[in-house]
Amino acid sequence: MSRLFAELDYQSTPIGAVSLRRRRELTLDVDVYEIKLDDEFLMSSLYTASEVALAERALAALGAGHDTAFDVVVGGLGLGYTAQTVLAHAGLGELLVVELLAPVIDWHRRGLVPIGRALAEDPRCRLVEADFFARAASAEGFDPLQRGRRFDAILLDIDHSPEHWLDGRSEAFYGAEGLAAVARHLRPGGVFGLWSNTPPDDVFTARLADVFASAGAEAVCFRDPLHGRDWVQAVYLARTVEREAG
């Protein structure tokens, strides 16, 4: 392995070959970690603003008045920046990170990613090897230890956008029935958050609003230091009906 480039792992999975690599970006004098699925780039440690914003904005939407520790599901592990941001919140009870690909979980347990073993070693965090979309559609839900458990927030960062999926089997999730199914795993007043690589889309926002009590989309703007241009991505936030008083 070179100081300038190293393929840290390469494994076959049910949806393609996944690889983790580290390269030295000489123009910025930083190490960049990247995840690829076959020839498609999934994530880079150089661009994490919107992954962090997904957690920050969803937990802010829960409100400072949340009177008990809150429980969160993150769908998609990647390099771990969304989950790391959730763990930084003082009000967290437990975090479940649901990841389909066993090698990605293994990278975190071995400390191969930039944040090392931070997620794997945090007692508030469980890494669950499972299909997020299948779990969302099921009555069992996301926690293999507690059937039907509901959560205060469910955050999804897997597909590139509601219209661009890593695997065609997730398409149904983004329709009305799929969104209604994931809403059933939220507590009253719970928040569903979704990351998208593309700017806010009015059609998908309206679909969320048809299913949830309230919904909106927020643009996340950041500077690309490598190419000297600005990017706009999106965080969608939707909320279930609050429990009625009395």
pLDDT band at 229 (very low <50, low <70, confident <90, very high): confident
**What is the set of domains in the chain, with CATH numbers?**
47-239 (3.40.50.150)
Q: Tell me the per-residue pLDDT of 17-61, one tens digit each, with 9 for 90 and over.
A: 999 999 999 999 999 999 999 999 999 999 999 999 999 999 999
How high is the pLDDT of residue 228? 83
pLDDT band at 246 (very low <50, low <70, confident <90, very high): very low
- Better-scored residue on pLDDT, 36 or 227: 36
Give me 246's structure tokens: 């009395």
Q: Tell me the per-residue pLDDT of 89-125, one tens digit each, with 9 for 90 and over.
A: 989 999 999 999 999 999 999 999 999 999 999 999 9
Give the list of residues 6+ apart from residue 154 with CB closer than 8 angstroms, or none: 72, 73, 75, 142, 182, 185, 186, 190, 191, 192, 193
Task: Give the whole-angstrom CA distance, residue 72 versus residue 108.
Answer: 19
Would strands 30-37 and 16-25 be described as parallel, antiparallel, or unpaired? Answer: antiparallel
Query: Which run of H or of E encompasses 132?
Result: helix 132-137
Average pLDDT of the chain is 94
pLDDT band at 66 (very low <50, low <70, confident <90, very high): low
Q: What's the sign of the alpha-carbon dihedral 146, 151, 153, 154? A: positive
H helices, E strands: number in the chain:
6, 11
pLDDT more than 70, % of the chain: 96
C-alpha Rg value of the chain to the nearest Å:
18
How high is the pLDDT of residue 65? 54
How high is the pLDDT of residue 224? 87
Q: Which of 127, 134, 137 is nearest to 73 (CA)?
A: 127
Q: Dihedrals φ, ψ of 199, to 5°?
A: -60, 165
How high is the pLDDT of residue 60? 94
How high is the pLDDT of residue 197? 95
